[in-house]
Chains A and B, each alone.
Chain A
Amino acid sequence: MTAVTTDAGRPSLAVWKFASCDGCQLSLLDCEDELLALAGAVQIASFTEMSRATVAGPYDVSLVEGSITTAEDAGRIRAVRDASRVLVTIGACATAGGIQGLRDFASVGDYTATVYARPEYIATLETSTPISSHVRVDYELHGCPVDRGQLLEVVLAQLAGRRPAIAGHSVCQECKGRGTVCLLVSKGTACLGPVTRAGCGALCPSVDRGCFGCFGPADTANTASLARRLSDDGLARVDVSRLFRTFNANAPAFRRESLAQDAGS
C-alpha cells in the first residue's frame, strides 16, 4: 500500500467492505460515464477494490458496504466511524444485515458445521447486524444491490452538504409511473411491491415477476395487510414468511411480519 499525498483542495471519499458480495461498491465502478469525473472531483482516499493507494483519514465521506459478523469487524467499524465525518451505509447487508442475517433464524453452530468440516477454525458472531447497530450512521441507502443512480445522488448530496433526493415511498408508485399493470390485482401474483421501498424502478413487475423486496421495507409499510391479501389469494403462511425473509429479513418491518406468519397470528 502506498500513501499518496493528501490533496487538501478536494473532499475525500473512502469505501469500506464488511460481510457482503461486493456488488454495491461495484455499482460505483459501474458508473462508467461518471467515474473519471468523480475521481477528479473527489480524492478517492481508500477504496481497496479499486486501488493499491491509500490515504490516512480522516475522511469527509465514508461509504460502508456489508454487515458485522465477526468481533474483529465490530472493532473495525468503530475505527471507520472515528475516521469519518459522514458515514453512509450502502446496501441490504449494511442497512439490514443482508442474506447472511438468516442465521438469526437458526443456530450458527449448525450453519458452521454444515459448511466447514473443521468448525473450530471459524470465528464468527451469532448474528449478522447492520452497521447502525454498532455506530452512528448519517445516511442509509437501501437495495440489494443499491441503484447506481441513487448511489451517485447520495455521494454528490453528501459532498454538497444537502439532503439526498431519495424517496421513501413504495414500488407501487414506480409501477404506476412506468405504466406497468398491477400483477397482484390482475394476475394474483405474490408481490411485495406495496410494502417495498422504491428505487429499483419497479424492475420485477416489468418482467412479469412479483417484487421480492430487495430494497427492504418502505417508510410506511403495512405488511400485515399485504400478508392477509397474499393468504386470501392462496399463499400458504410458510410461503408468505419466506417472501419476507430474504435479503432484508432483519429489517424490522419484514422481520416482524415473517415471525408473525411463523407464529400463525
Chain B
Amino acid sequence: MTHGRHDTERTVFVPGLARVEGEGGLRVRVQDGAVSEVTLNIFEPPRFFEALLEGRRLDEAPDITARICGICPVAYQMSACRAMEDACGVTVGEPVAALRRLLYCGEWIQSHALHVYLLHAPDFLGCEDAVQLAAIDRAAVERGLDLKRTGNMVMKTVGGRAVHPVNVRVGGFYRAPDTDAVRALAEPLRRARQAALDTVVWVAGFEFPDVVGDYRFVALTHPDHYPIEDGAVALWSGEEMSPAAFADVAVEEHVARSTALHARLHGRDPYLTGPLARYALNATRLPEIARQAATAAGLGPTCDNPFRSIVVRAVELVFACDEALRLVLGYERFDPAAEVVTPRAGVGTGATEAPRGLLVHRYRVDADGTIASARIMPPTSQNQLTIEEDLRRVVEGGLTLTDEDLTWRCEQAVRNHDPCISCAAHFLHVTVDRS
C-alpha cells in the first residue's frame, strides 16, 4: 500500500484486494472534500465462457459452467439445468427438486460460512485474516470451520464432491444417493443449525459503521418458501416477472475498466442482488427459527446497512441449515434420478440464487441439442455499479479517517457484497485519490 498527499491530491493505493474470490481493484478520487470518481476495476483475465459454450451440447453446460466459479459451482449447475429444461419444455418432479434444493443448501452453508468467518469477520475485529482471528478467538473460527465442513459434507453426499460436484445433470441427477447416507446428515445439520444460531448472536455484536444504502433490490421470490433454486424475479418496486422477462430488461454494458459486464435494469437503474435483497423481499418466508434469530439480532423487515450484511448472511445460514435438515428428514431414495430431456430448438432461461446473488443463464439451442448461443449474468456483474455507489457513500462518510483506515473500510465495503470476481470475470487494485 502506498499513500500520497499533495496540496491538491491525496492517493491511497493497494495492489490487490484480499479476501474476495478473484482479482480486482478499486479506485476512489476525492477532490475538495468531495468524491469525484469511484470505480471498481475488474481485471481478472476473461475466460470467454459464453463463446466456448457455442457448439457444445446442452447436457455439457452444467459441468462447463461450474468451472466459472469454484466457490459456487452448484449455482452454475442449477441455473444451467433450469435454462436447458426450460428450453426443452421439461419440469422436474418433486424428488429431484427437493434433492437439488438440498445440494444447494450445502453450497449456501459452505459459502456463507467461508465468507462470514474467513473473509468478512476479520475486518470487524481488526484482523488481517482468520488465522489472526483464531489467535484471539479460536472457538469462533473452529465453529465457522465446523459449519463449512457440514456444508461440504452435504455437497459431497449429494453431489459427489464439494468443488465441482459430479452428480448433477440436466433433468436431475445421475444417481440419487442412498437414503441412509442422506439421513446421516441430520445430526451434523442439527449441530450446524445451533452453530448458525450462535453465529447470528456473535456477528450481531460487532460494531457497524453507520452507512445506509438506497438500494434497488432484486431477488427471486416464491410463494411457498425462501428462494434458492426457483421462483419469479421480484423487484424493489413490487413488480414481479418471469426470469425470461427479467433477462430481457436487464441490460449489460461493457466499459473499459472491467472484464465484467455491468448490468442495469432497462439500461438505466443499477440494482443489488444477494442476501440483503433476498431478505428484504422474502423475510416473511423464512422459517420461524430464522425469523426469531433475525429479530433478536435487531434486524427489521429490511436491512439497508451493507456492513450488516454479515448478520443477514448469518440468518441465512440458520435458514439453510434448517431447510437442509427438513429435506434430509423427508428424503427417500428415488429412481430414476432424472427426467428424460429430449432436445428441441428453442430458448431457455434459468435463474437461481447463488449465495452472493441472482445468477441468470439463457441459452438458445438447436433441435439436435447443440448450444447456438449462451448468456450468463453472474451476481457480481449485476452488483458492480451498486458496489461503486456504496464505496462513494463510505468515502463520503469516512473523510476524517486516516488513509490506512479509509482504505481498509473501502476494501470492507467491497467485501460486504461477497463479490465473486472469478465469476464476474475478475484483479482488484484499490486506489484512493484525494485531490
Contacts and interface: CB of A to CB of B under 8 A. Distances in A.
Contacts of A30: 110, 148, 152, 162-163
Contacts of A27: 163
Nearest to B64: A99
A230 B186 CA distance: 42
Nearest to A43: B131
Interface string A212-226: 101000000000000
Interface in B1-27: 1, 14-23
A52 B128 contact: yes
Interface residues of B, number: 70
B67 to A, nearest CB: 5
Nearest to A201: B161
Interface residues of A, number: 64
A50 B146 contact: no
A214 B71 contact: no
B21 A49 contact: yes
B365 interface: no
Interface stretch (B42-50, B233-241, B279-287, B302-310): B42-50
A103 B221 CA distance: 38
Interface stretch (A106-114, A159-167, A254-262): A106-114
Contact of B254 (A29, A100, A111, A121): A121
Contacts of A21: 67-70, 73, 422
Given A22-B21, A27-B163, A52 B67 contact: no
B70 A212 contact: no
Contacts of A23: 67, 69-71, 73, 163-164
B199 interface: no
A41 B14 CA distance: 28
Interface stretch (B52-60, B212-220, B314-322): B52-60
A122 B130 CA distance: 35
Contacts of A116: 46, 254, 259, 261
Interface string B164-175: 101101000111
B21 A44 contact: no
Contacts, number: 191
B409 interface: no
Nearest to B111: A26
Contact of A50 (B46, B130, B160): B130
Contacts of A20: 70, 422
Contacts of A145: 70, 161, 163-164
Contact of A19 (B47, B51, B64, B146): B47
Contact of B129 (A52, A73, A106): A52
B435 to A, nearest CB: 24
In the complex, the 7 A-B pairs of residues with the closest C-beta atoms, listed nearest first: A23-B70, A51-B129, A111-B51, A53-B128, A114-B51, A100-B47, A32-B145
Interface of A: 1-2, 4, 17-27, 29-30, 32-33, 35-36, 39, 44, 48-53, 69-70, 73, 98-100, 102-103, 106, 108, 110-112, 114-118, 121-122, 124, 128, 144-145, 200, 203-204, 206-209, 212, 214, 242, 246-247
Given A4-B128, A26-B71, A116-B259, 20 more contacts: A1-B14, A2-B1, A20-B422, A22-B21, A22-B22, A32-B152, A36-B141, A44-B131, A50-B130, A98-B47, A100-B52, A103-B51, A111-B51, A112-B51, A117-B254, A128-B47, A144-B67, A209-B167, A246-B60, A247-B67
19 contacts: A4-B128, A17-B22, A21-B70, A23-B69, A30-B110, A30-B152, A30-B163, A32-B149, A32-B152, A50-B19, A100-B47, A110-B51, A111-B51, A115-B50, A203-B160, A207-B173, A207-B174, A212-B63, A212-B166
